[in-house]
Structure 1
Amino acid sequence: MKKTLLAMALTLPLFAVQQNLSLQRALEMVKENNLEVKVAEKNVLMKEQEHKAAVGYNFGSLDLVVNALRSNDAGNVFGFKLQSREASFADFGFDQFLAPMRQALMLANNNALTQQDLQNMNVILAIQPDKLNYPDARNHFQEKIQYKIPLYVGGRLMKYGEITDKMTTISKLDRQKILNEKLFETRKTYYNISLVENFIKNLNVILKNVEELEDTVKNMVKEGYALDIDLLQVQTKKADVLRMINQAKLNRDLAYQYLSFLVDDKVDSIVVLDNDVPMPHMKRDEMLARNIDIQKAHTGLEVTDLAIGVEKSKFLPTVGAFAEYGSADNTFLNDFTDKDAYTVGVQLKWNLFNGFVDKAKYEKAKIQNMKMQEQVELAKKGIGLKIDKIITSIKSKDYDIQSLREKVKYTKKVYDNYYSRYKEGLMAINDVLIKNSEHIQAVLNLVKTRFERNNKVFELENIINKGIL
């Protein structure tokens, strides 16, 4: 029993759902859980590491190198002995050279050298020493630390560091843009659900009115004041209202599914809002300055400025330093300090001619910079025009909503009047149903216009990078 209760406790969070989810909490969940936002965050982290790598090149590289070799190649073996500081005259074959040389010296001291002896001495120089030409195989262990650092590269490394920093900034702007889009979609979906809930509520009121009319017609049919066709017409209208309610509920369920996807959690219900989204109050210049695409364009322009510096640096010399310290022996780490050695040096390299390749790349970088300047201006004008169109549309929708609210009230009063007159036998059922349809259409148009108006406000907030949380 205890194991069963423990298993239920562990699995309970898997089946938890969000009840009466507030808009604020929904937006927080998007920031915390949305998978696309998490992917964008990983892209930022990668760009930050690329920047660190670019900056790291300024500090050079320190390497530990360990070579473990074995060879019987004459050149290698002799080189091994030199690196191990163990070379001797015996390695040059002096054991084969000294005996005949000693005899020749003795004859020379006794003035006993003949012409034949002098000729034999030339043969000594032709001796091929076995130890030098055919050495025994030898192990060789070399341990050393190498340090290389660029001293001057025409400012190229500094430019690369600044470029990767700008690319990190662009990735952060991309992340913010994706976050804004997810917040925009979340608010849009949240408000859409609220509008659908209010629409269903209004339709239920209309359904109640139609059912009341149906009861009235039934009674009038019984008393002979109305025909069966009148009742059939009312029931047809009732079926239409029920169909609209069912369709609205299906759209609401679909919106809930999308909201659950955005927050990465099951959402069962929300705190319904009845107000429309407030219009952001901001000067046009501030709207343009906050726009992420324009910010990215400006940052891209800065990158092309730095790219010109990178290409220009290729016309300048590069200077690097090198230092190495180590030891070698036929046994690993044997007599390290007795056989150690160091090497230091500086290298200057200056390309004098490469077929004008660097010049072509430099000109291309300048053209790219000019192109980017034009793209920045194009982005400003294009986005400015889009903002103006959206603001104009919002203002138009605000006027339409105000007018439609009055129309909903008016059509409801007209319907009530026609219904009262129908009960008095002064109006045909067709006229009552027509006014009922006009009222339903007015309600539908109001909801639709509020949908469109809110979506335009959300679109504007997304464009101007308006902070939500």
Structure 2
Amino acid sequence: MKKYLIFFLTWPLFAGLENLEIDQAISILKHNNLELKISHFNEQMKAYEAAAAKGQHYGKVDVAVTGMRSNDAGNVFGFKLQSREATFGDFGFAEFDMSGSTNPLPVAPQELNYPEARDHYQTKISYMLPLYTGGKLSEYGRITKALQRMSQWDTEKLMNEKIFQTKKAFYDITLVENYIVNLSKIIQNIQQLEAVVKSMGEEGYAQEIDLLEVQARLAEAESMHNQAKLNRDLAYQFLSFLLNEEVTSIKKVNEMAPLPTINTKALEENNIDIQKALLGLQISKMAVNVEKANYLPTIGAFGEYGSADNTLWNEFRDKEAYTVGVQLKWNIFNGGSDSANLQKAKVNHLKVQDQVALAKSGTALKVKKLETEILSKNADVESYTKQLRFAQKVYENYRARYKEGIVSISDVLIKQSKELEVLLKLLTIKNERNTKIFELNSVLNTGGNV
């Protein structure tokens, strides 16, 4: 009993989403889809890159604490100078004959040449600030900001693709479930026909081959029915993958997705490929400005403040020191590399201008092509719908005529086969039409609107 109680308590934890609506699915998609999460991480990294580029304007502050010990004559004397402790005795004056009776110049001072080892601790704070870079730092900041926006466009394009796939999964499931219902009716009709043939066979009006032919057609229809159920299960698995959550059933939608309204002005404002091309054009212009900056000087300021002693942080204020300065650097010749890079950037800018024009014209052409294909599919759907109704009526007529002995069982099954064929074609055409609709929505950047 305890085992069954545990099962019923934990069962809801494993239950999937049931009777899921398409708007709910799109909302879940936006929060749960793993590819979208990865794309949002890319956005965050681009944002940090933009912040890092902006930080270059404020310069850099370094703190260095150095500890050393040496008996090298130059080092020891330098340590004493930095510690402000050097004396004349360090030059060996105590070893000179100050009476003047001997020449002190040839004397090698022992204290200076062979000093005792000394500890040295130096603490230094340095600050470097770019004052003028010819606009290069500013352009780098704008470029990284534009690249951050580009990553957002990439995420939005991926979002459209995933919404496209989610909508298609809903319509695919709806279509295949309706197809399964129609196949079930056809199977029932064949089973009824099988019963008629058996009855007529018992009365001597049908042959065994007639029954075998009907049973073969029944097996074919049942095989199509099973395949349709497998396709439905696969569509549910794909939808669960998109939402990163198990989906067991959906609320069915209309078989025919609505055709969106097409507005040329809105298309250019909303289409992601066009917006990315326009942003790329801005970036290429910034790249030209970066190359122009190579012809201008750079000016930077720096400052250092610190203290040194043979004991760490001893008498820090008494032995402090500072250095400030400004540097101007201007490259006046580098073999023509700057000129070549500038011309390359200008050519790239011209290329991107043409890419923008191509994106606009290409997108308009793609929209027109999709619209034409959808209208053509609409006509096909209407045609096959009429053909299906006609095929169903013909089959019913031939089945009745078979009972009267006017036509053979082969004639009946041929008409029934035509019904199956038209039903499958209608399913395929509706699926292709819906795919074109969702693709058009993606190009128009209509987002989650169905």
The residue identity in structure 2 corresponding to 1:95 is A
CA RMSD of aligned residues (A): 2.0
Aligned equivalent of 2:60: 61
Cα 1:9–1:346 change in 2 (3 A) is: farther
Question: What is the number of equivalent residue pairs in this alignment?
Answer: 449
Alignment counterpart, residue 397 of structure 2, candidates 412, 417, 420 = 417
Q: Indicate the SS of the match to 1:351.
A: coil
Aligned equivalent of 2:48: 49
Q: Equivalents in 1 of 2:227, 2:349: separation in Å?
A: 54
The residue identity in structure 1 corresponding to 2:79 is F
Aligned equivalent of 2:409: 429
Taking structure 1 as the reference length, what is the TM-score of the superposition?
0.91
Cα 1:409–1:163 change in 2 (3 A) is: same
- The Cα shift of 1:218 comes to 1.4
Q: Equivalents in 2 of 1:128, 1:297: separation in Å?
A: 77
Matches within 5 A, 1:371-450: 371-450=351-430
State whether structure 2 residue 206 is matched by structure 1 residue 226.
Answer: yes
Q: Indicate the SS of the match to 2:295.
A: coil
- The Cα shift of 1:4 comes to 11
Deviation beyond 3 Å, 4+ runs, structure 1: 1-13
**Alpha-carbon contact 1:195-1:447 (below 8 Å) kept:** yes
Deviations along 1:207-245, one digit per CA (max 9) or x if unpaired, are 111111111221122222222222222212111111110
Q: Equivalents in 1 of 2:120, 2:11: separation in Å?
A: 63
Matches within 5 A, 1:320-335: 320-335=300-315
> Unpaired segments of 5 or more residues in structure 2?
none
Matches within 5 A, 1:172-191: 172-191=152-171
**Alpha-carbon contact 2:121-2:312 (below 8 Å) kept:** yes
Aligned equivalent of 2:28: 29
Q: Equivalents in 2 of 1:16, 1:126: separation in Å?
A: 100
Cα 1:334–1:9 change in 2 (3 A) is: farther
The residue identity in structure 2 corresponding to 1:444 is L
- The Cα shift of 1:427 comes to 2.8
**Alpha-carbon contact 1:394-1:453 (below 8 Å) kept:** yes
Alignment counterpart, residue 133 of structure 1, candidates 113, 133, 136 = 113
**Alpha-carbon contact 1:198-1:274 (below 8 Å) kept:** no
**Alpha-carbon contact 1:312-1:362 (below 8 Å) kept:** yes
**Alpha-carbon contact 2:53-2:141 (below 8 Å) kept:** yes
Q: Equivalents in 1 of 2:408, 2:105: separation in Å?
A: 138
Q: Equivalents in 2 of 1:163, 1:315: separation in Å?
A: 20
The residue identity in structure 2 corresponding to 1:75 is G
The residue identity in structure 2 corresponding to 1:50 is E
Cα 1:70–1:4 change in 2 (3 A) is: farther
Cα 1:5–1:322 change in 2 (3 A) is: farther
**Alpha-carbon contact 1:44-1:171 (below 8 Å) kept:** yes
Larger displacement relative to structure 2 (160-169 or 367-376) = 367-376
The residue identity in structure 2 corresponding to 1:420 is A
The residue identity in structure 2 corresponding to 1:23 is I
Larger displacement relative to structure 2 (236-245 or 425-434) = 425-434
**Alpha-carbon contact 2:68-2:121 (below 8 Å) kept:** yes
Deviations along 1:140-187, one digit per CA (max 9) or x if unpaired, are 111121111000000110000000011001111111111211121121
Q: Equivalents in 1 of 2:3, 2:411: separation in Å?
A: 69
Q: Equivalents in 1 of 2:10, 2:347: separation in Å?
A: 62
Q: Equivalents in 2 of 1:317, 1:378: separation in Å?
A: 38
- The Cα shift of 1:133 comes to 1.4
Q: Indicate the SS of the match to 1:252.
A: helix
Aligned equivalent of 1:72: 71
Q: Equivalents in 2 of 1:5, 1:421: separation in Å?
A: 60
Deviations along 1:107-159, one digit per CA (max 9) or x if unpaired, are xxxxxxxxxx5xx3xx2122221111111111111112111100000011000
Cα 1:6–1:222 change in 2 (3 A) is: closer
Aligned equivalent of 2:135: 155
Deviations along 1:386-437, one digit per CA (max 9) or x if unpaired, are 2211110000001111122122112212222222222233332222222211
Taking structure 2 as the reference length, what is the TM-score of the superposition?
0.95
Q: Equivalents in 1 of 2:379, 2:7: separation in Å?
A: 58
Alignment counterpart, residue 240 of structure 2, candidates 260, 278, 288 = 260
Q: Indicate the SS of the match to 1:314.
A: helix
**Alpha-carbon contact 2:388-2:419 (below 8 Å) kept:** yes
